[in-house]
């Protein structure tokens, strides 16, 4: 079973938590990022985006050193304060539609390397090295890896018992999400939770493959750094995740809808439909020229032997992207893009109707059990096979790597 331990987080004071916590700066447009940096001196964006607008941007070690200095300044100004006690941290996000609750602590790099923390995605060596270099200079990790595990009633009871008091943090972010956080430093409660997790055989990376791999590289590069033997993670029951599909968007195909239909009819029954159709496994919706078409495999369809090849994301490549649109490399072909399918196709329809793309392909979301099976079989899913929530914030809890 993987190791899960408490740690002493560096975190915002209660009155500033709502100002500090942020999404990745890469998720903001330049205009929104500029506004946040100009009007909120406490946002963690001030740390992770240290370059001023209008100045020449810095890269590599020079940039990382700027980040490290701003982080120290946030501690010196007591925007961020180190905890005195080792704690687990119950963290909850709630919107009108969903509530996600998990526990943040630290997991062992050795469990990742030995396969007890299981993966389902490829990582890029260049990104692993880049983030390893970032960690080696900044000496902190500000966003937990999201790990799932099979449902466990004792974990649920522990969370319920330790979240009855007033939350340390309670704020609503501008996207309408309510954030709650409870530190748990009671020694008996910590001991109980460790015992519970000893009965869970494996953890599964839901979001954060590159951060996990980079933490492993950091540990291998600096084996004497004891803090680097672990990395920060949020554990969440797989039943508490939300899994959505990514739609495939195609442009510059130079094909009419009629021509596309003709090619599809070799393998599919093609039926005029609507975007809200509740898709099942092995069904697809394609949108183009203002029409939704439902694709169902013909009776002659034979499922591939490999489970990964049976996934809809794999079948979309084999039976739609390759033969119909001549798209063979899902990672690099500029004619192909991906968009989370979160609103029954409404956004997807608007993107195609705008003229930016010609066709969209929708499919049913995978299940947590699908992801677990792929990982257990040591297989890798196709790119953008699943969009997973919750999306965690940077700066709410920081895992220090200064080896104290």
Distance from C-alpha of 180 to C-alpha of 174, rounded to nearest angstrom: 15
The confidence score (pLDDT) of residue 55 equals 80
Distance from C-alpha of 304 to C-alpha of 306, rounded to nearest angstrom: 6
Q: What is the pTM of this model?
A: 0.94
The confidence score (pLDDT) of residue 255 equals 95
The confidence score (pLDDT) of residue 26 equals 79
pLDDT mean across residues, the chain: 95
Q: Is 331 left (phi over 0), alpha (psi -120 to 50) or beta?
A: alpha
Q: Is residue 169 within 8 Å of 14, Cβ to Cβ?
A: yes
Residues 309-347 pLDDT 10s: 999 999 999 999 999 999 999 989 999 999 999 999 999
Residues 96-149 pLDDT 10s: 989 999 999 999 999 999 999 999 998 889 999 999 999 999 999 999 999 999
Percent of the chain with pLDDT over 90: 91
Q: What CATH code would you report for 243-388?
A: 3.30.1760.10
- Give span(s): CATH 3.30.1760.10, the chain: 243-388
- Which pair of structure tokens corresponds to residue 55? 């100045």
The confidence score (pLDDT) of residue 284 equals 98
Residue 404 has pLDDT above 70, yes or no: no
Residues 2-37 pLDDT 10s: 999 999 999 999 999 999 999 888 788 889 899 999
Distance from C-alpha of 172 to C-alpha of 339, rounded to nearest angstrom: 26
Residues 199-240 pLDDT 10s: 999 999 999 999 999 999 999 999 999 999 999 999 999 999
Strand partners, 10: 82, 398
Residues 32-51 pLDDT 10s: 899 999 999 999 999 999 98
Percent of the chain with pLDDT over 70: 100
Closest CA to 368 of 283, 280, 233, 242: 242
Q: 100 vs 183, 190, 237, 379, CA distance in Å?
A: 17, 21, 9, 27
- Model confidence at 403, pLDDT cuts 50, 70, 90, reads low
Mean pLDDT of 67-73: 97
Buried b (16+ CB within 10 A) or exposed e, 154-179: ebeebbeebbeeebebebeeeeebeb
Residues 200-210 pLDDT 10s: 999 999 999 99
Distance from C-alpha of 200 to C-alpha of 52, rounded to nearest angstrom: 46
């Amino acid at each position: 079973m993987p190791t899960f331990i408490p740690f002493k987080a560096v975190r915002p004071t209660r009155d500033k938590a709502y100002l500090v916590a942020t999404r990745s700066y890469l998720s903001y447009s330049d205009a929104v990022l500029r506004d946040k940096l100009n009007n909120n001196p406490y946002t963690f964006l001030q740390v992770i985006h240290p370059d001023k607008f209008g100045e020449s941007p810095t890269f590599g070690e020079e940039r990382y050193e700027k980040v490290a200095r701003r982080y120290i300044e946030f501690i010196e100004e007591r925007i961020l304060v180190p905890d005195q006690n080792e704690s687990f941290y119950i963290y909850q996000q709630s919107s009108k539609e969903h509530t996600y609750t998990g526990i943040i602590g630290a997991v062992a790099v050795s469990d990742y390397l030995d396969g007890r923390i299981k993966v389902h995605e490829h990582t890029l060596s260049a990104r692993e090295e880049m983030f390893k270099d970032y960690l080696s200079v900044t000496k902190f990790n500000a966003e937990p890896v999201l790990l799932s595990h099979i449902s466990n009633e004792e974990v649920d009871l522990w969370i319920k018992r330790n979240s009855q008091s007033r939350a340390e943090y309670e704020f609503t972010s501008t996207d309408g999400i309510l954030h709650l956080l409870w530190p748990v430093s009671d020694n008996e409660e910590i001991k109980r939770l460790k015992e519970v997790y000893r009965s869970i055989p494996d953890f599964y990376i839901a979001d954060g493959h590159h951060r996990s791999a980079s933490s492993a590289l950091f540990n291998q590069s600096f084996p004497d750094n004891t803090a680097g033997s672990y990395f920060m993670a949020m554990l969440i029951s797989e039943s508490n995740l939300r899994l959505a599909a990514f739609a495939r968007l195609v442009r510059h195909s130079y094909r009419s809808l009629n021509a596309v239909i003709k090619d599809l009819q070799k393998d599919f029954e093609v039926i005029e439909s609507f975007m809200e159709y509740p898709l099942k496994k092995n069904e697809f919706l394609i949108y183009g020229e203002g029409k939704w078409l439902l694709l169902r495999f013909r009776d002659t369809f034979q499922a591939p032997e490999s489970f990964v090849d049976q996934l809809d994301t794999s079948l979309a490549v084999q039976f739609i992207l390759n033969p119909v649109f001549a798209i063979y490399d899902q990672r690099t072909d500029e004619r192909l893009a991906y968009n989370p399918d979160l609103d029954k196709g409404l956004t997807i329809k608007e993107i195609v109707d705008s003229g930016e793309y010609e066709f969209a392909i929708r499919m049913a979301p995978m299940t947590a059990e699908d992801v677990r099976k792929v990982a257990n079989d040591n297989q890798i899913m196709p790119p953008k096979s699943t969009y997973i929530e919750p999306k965690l914030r940077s700066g709410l809890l920081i895992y220090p790597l200064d080896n104290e």
